[in-house]
Amino acid sequence: MDNLENLFDKAVGEIERMLNSKTCVGEPITIDGNTLIPLINMGFGFGVGGGEGRDESKGSGKGGGTGGGGGVKPAAVVIINEAGVRVEPIKSGATSVLEKVAESIGKVASTKEARKAE
């Protein structure tokens, strides 16, 4: 049973290490006056087993177990620029992230050009 408790403690320790604000809020990226901060959804699950016991006719029993899994997916991008701050949700995967970044940079460039023309 000590091994099982050790496995459980290690699994919980890893989950605590992974789940913090730095994991869910990415490092800021600056592109052409736009600061982009990625926001990420995380999910996880884990299980622990047990065992022990003796069966006089078949010998001694044992047990054990552990398991886990998780996933990470982009959720949104915080965009900070001269126009202000906004949050753009990401519908699916990296392609959408790139589209949002390109769209944001395009909007800022258009706004700068319009101001220059005035």
Query: What does the pLDDT profile of the chain (118 residues) look like in tens digits?
Result: 566 677 778 877 777 777 766 678 888 999 888 899 988 887 777 777 777 777 777 777 777 777 777 777 888 889 999 889 999 888 765 555 556 666 666 666 566 666 666 6
* Alpha-carbon torsion angle 22, 77, 101, 98, nearest 10: 80
Residue 40 β-bridge partners? 74
Say whether 35 sits in a helix, a strand or coil: strand
Closest by alpha carbon to 80, among 32, 24, 21?
32
Say whether pTM exceeds 0.85.
no
- N-term to C-term CA, the chain: 76
* Strand arrangement, sheet containing 34-48: 29-31, 34-48, 66-81, 84-89
